[in-house]
Amino acid sequence: MKSRLKRLLLCSMALLFCASLVTQRGAAVQDPGPATDRVGFPDDYQNRFKQLYVFDRPDNRQVRVIYGNTPAADAIPGQPFPYGSILVMETWSARLGTDGNPALDAAGRYQRDALTGIFVARKERGFGEAYQHVRGGEWEYVAYRADKTFLTAPAQSGSCARCHLQAGAARDWQFRMSLYFTRAGGDLPSNTIQHYRFLPGELTAKVGERVTWYNDDETDHRIVIDGQTGFDSGVMKTGASYSLVFHGPAEYEYRCTIHPTMRGKVIVK
């Protein structure tokens, strides 16, 4: 009897141990982050900081506005941002018209509706250590709401640090770093190039309508239509745009010559 009870006890302990392992492996692991907010909400940043650039996001009907404090705005192209740099990215939803499409202002840009987030990155000596294996340089990140409450608290900002790893050390871990210096602008884009994709992959235009592509990617792209003269964007650097007016109804399939797997279509009616 004692031997049998002993075997049952051992089996129960083994089952509990296995269940514990499954639970631990199945649980989502959160990236580490700072315990306290050392970034700080940048009060009055819209007046104190320099607006670096504004761009519209047709893929998610969003407007993004980028600000930088004096150290960030004075950064030298090709060199890391100096210590003390603070970058702010506002995200706005686009105001929709009665037809359900984004309403445009007099300049043809999206009109802003609701401020959905204030994302702040700050660079100081020793910052970023708490991110451990997802650390990229000496930056820390916090996302706020307009009322200064946390949208992404410091302890949860490891996801921000992990995302910024993709920007790489050459860009000092900040996306589209070159746009801070080119002050990107131009026509409202009909299509945005991001992450080696055309967004949207298929778009519709009217005869005589101007279609604009905007390179919001981290690399060069070149758009062509095989067999069509006059349709060649040339090499588009990050932040560059290319526009073309289609004069006849047809379906135009285009591609990137630098990255041949990238393809899109314009349907002109």
User: What are the tens digits of pLDDT across the range 230-262?
Assistant: 789 999 988 888 998 888 899 999 999 988 888
Is the residue at 111 inside a domain?
Answer: yes
- Residue 159 has a pLDDT of 95
- Alpha carbon separation from 183 to 177, 208, 218 (Å, rounded): 11, 29, 15
Cα distance between residue 164 and residue 140, in whole Å: 11
Domain final position from 145, 160, 182: 182
* CB contact at 8 A, 53 and 44: no
Cβ neighbourhood burial of 3 (10 Å; 0-12, 13-18, 19+): exposed
Is residue 86 a part of any domain in this protein?
Answer: yes
**What is the predicted pLDDT for the residue at 15?**
36
Q: In terms of domains, do 134 and 249 share one?
A: no
Q: Answer with the one of 182, 211, 243 that is the final residue of a domain.
A: 182
Q: Are residues 78 and 160 in the same domain?
A: yes
Residues 88 and 116 in one domain: yes
Same domain, 114 and 221: no
- Tokens at 134, concatenated: 């997802």
Per-residue pLDDT reduced to its tens digit, 104-162: 887 677 899 999 999 999 999 999 999 999 999 999 999 999 999 999 999 999 999 99
- Tell me: do 74 and 135 sit in the same domain: yes
* Domain contains 80: yes
- Burial, 72: exposed, middle or buried (Cβ in 10 Å; 0-12, 13-18, 19+)? buried
- The answer as to whether 36 is a domain residue is no
Give the residue, 82 or 181, on which the prediction is more confident. Answer: 82
Do 163 and 205 have their domain in common? no
Residue 144 structural domain: 45-182
The pLDDT assigned to 216 comes to 80
Cα angle value 174/175/180 (rounded, 5°) = 85
Q: How far apart are CA 150 and CA 145, in angstroms?
A: 6
Q: Are residues 245 and 158 in the same domain?
A: no
Closest listed residue to residue 105, CA positions, set 115, 94, 114, 116? 94
Cis status, amide bond into 42, omega within 30 of 0: no
Q: Torsions phi, psi of 236, nearest 5?
A: -100, 115
Let me know whether 167 and 257 are in one domain: no
d(CA 143, CA 90) in angstroms, rounded, equals 10
In the chain, which ranges are continuous DSSP H helix? 2-26, 45-48, 70-73, 158-164, 179-182
Total of domains in the chain: 2
Q: Mark whether 110 and 223 lie in a shared domain.
A: no
Q: Which residue has the tokens 């239509």?
A: 225
* Helix, strand or coil, per DSSP, at residue 230: coil
Q: pLDDT per residue over 44-103, tens digit each?
A: 999 999 998 887 777 688 888 999 999 999 998 778 999 999 999 999 999 999 999 889
Domain edge (last residue) among 162, 182, 202: 182
Residue 177 is assigned to a structural domain of this protein: yes
Beta strands 210-215 and 86-94, pairing class: unpaired
Query: What is residue 2's three-state secondary structure?
Result: helix
For residue 243, what is the domain's CATH number?
2.60.40.420
Phi-psi region of 137 (alpha: psi -120 to 50; beta: other; left: phi over 0): left
205 and 243 together in one domain: yes
What does pTM read for this prediction? 0.64
